[in-house]
Amino acid sequence: MEKKGLRKTSDGVKKMAKSIEMVEKIDEMDNLIELTGLVSEHFGQIKEMISLIDVVEKSGILTLLKAVLSDPDAILSVISSEMLRESNVRFLRNSSSLVALLSHIDPDKLDSISRNVTASINSLGEAAKGENIGILTIMQMMKDPDIAEGIRLMFGILKGIGSAGKK
């Protein structure tokens, strides 16, 4: 017995096979069976993933992410045009300058200066209790090697700023 739809030649009568295009789709049973197999194989991981999604959803991040991903051009466009506003450009440039400044300073030297500054600030209470400062007192204080070092440092910085200004 031949299957339904196949051409038959029984009784010596040929049935012409017409050219056909219509296709009756099957359901996706095969795919579903394959999917079921995958689910049971990775059941533990899938549960973990679902709990992760749950957490992310509750935190609101998922909604935000969805919004960003659904119209990334709009978001990027806003961000980039905001970045180009004069005040923001200034902020960015200043931030960059600060970053550049910091990246050029020898961290060891900065460390020792900051330690000294911290120590000076801490000893401010003691110094403030002293007498009024006259010229002579200043001259005397200049002999203190710590003060002399501090002044040399200040002059060095002032010189650098001055020469940069000339340029």
Partner 1 sequence: MKESNNIVVQIDGNDYSFETPDTVLNKLLELGYDIPHICYQPNLGPLQSCDSCLVNINGKVVRSCSTQIQDRDSIDVSSSSINDLRTEAVQLILHNHELYCTVCENNNGDCALHNAVHDLDITVQKYPFEPKPYDYDDSNPFYAYDPSQCILCGRCVEACQDIQVNETLSIDWSLPRPRVIWDKGVPANESSCVSCGHCVTVCPVNALMEKSMLRKAGYLTNIDRSTRKSMVDAVKSVEHELTMAPVMAISNAESKLRKFQIKKTKTVCVYCGVGCSFEIWTKGRDILKVQPQPESPANGISTCIKGKFGWDFVNSKDRLRNPLIRNGNGFREASWDEAMNTVAKGLLNIKSKYGGDAIEFIASSKGTNEEAYMVQKLARQLFGTNNVDNSSRFCQAPATTGLWRTVGYGGDSGSIQDIYMADLVIAVGTNTAESHPVLATRVKRAHKLNGQKLIVADLRMHEMARRADIFLHPKPGTDIVWLSAVTKYILDQGWEDREFLSERVNGLEEYRRSLEKFTLDFAAETSGIDQETLKSVAEMIHKSKRVCALWAMGVTQHQMGSDTSTAISNLLLVTGNYGRRGTGAYPLRGHNNVQGTSDFGAMSAYLPGYQSIKDTDVREKFEKAWHVKINPNVGYDNNTCLEAMEYGKIKAMYVIGEELVETGSDSAYIREKLSNLEFLVVQDMFLSETAKYADVVLPACASLEKEGTFTNTERRIQRIYKAMDPLGNSRSDFAILKDLANKLGANWSYKSPAEVMEEAASLTPMFSGVRYEKIEGFKSLQWPVSQDGTDSPFLYEKSFAFPDGRARLFRVSYTQPLTTTKTYDLQLNNGRLLEHFHEGNETYKTEGIREKVPGTFVEISPTLATDRDISNSDLIKITSKWGSIIVPALVTERVSGNELYLPMNGQGERGINNLTGRIMDPTSHTPAYKELPVRIKKVNNGDGNSPLPKGNPRFYSANPQKGIMIENKWKRKDYVKLVTE
| Minimum CB distance to partner 1, residue 18 (Å) | 7
Q: Tokens for 124?
A: 């401010």
Q: Tokens for 60?
A: 């609101």
Rounded CA separation 66/121 (Å): 51
Could you say whether residue 65 binds partner 1 (CB under 8 A)?
A: no
Cβ-based nearer residue to partner 1, 19 or 45:
19
Could you say whether residue 36 binds partner 1 (CB under 8 A)?
A: no
Q: Tokens for 50?
A: 């679902």
| Minimum CB distance to partner 1, residue 108 (Å) | 23
| Minimum CB distance to partner 1, residue 123 (Å) | 37
Residues 6+ apart with CB under 8 A from 153: 113
Could you say whether residue 22 binds partner 1 (CB under 8 A)?
A: yes
Q: What is the DSSP letter of 17?
A: -
Is 124:118 a contact under the CB 8 Å cutoff? no
Cβ-based nearer residue to partner 1, 55 or 79:
79
Vertex 151 angle, CA 146 and 153, to 5°: 95
Per CB under 8 A, the segment of 25-33, 60-68, 117-125, 127-135 that binds partner 1 is 25-33
Nearest to 95 by CA among 134, 47, 46, 103: 103
Could you say whether residue 99 binds partner 1 (CB under 8 A)?
A: yes
| Minimum CB distance to partner 1, residue 121 (Å) | 30
Nearest to 148 by CA among 156, 126, 130, 121: 156
Could you say whether residue 97 binds partner 1 (CB under 8 A)?
A: yes
Cβ-based nearer residue to partner 1, 97 or 118:
97
Give the binding site for partner 1 (CB under 8 A).
2-7, 9, 14, 16-26, 30, 72-73, 76-77, 79-81, 83-84, 89, 92-93, 95-97, 99-100
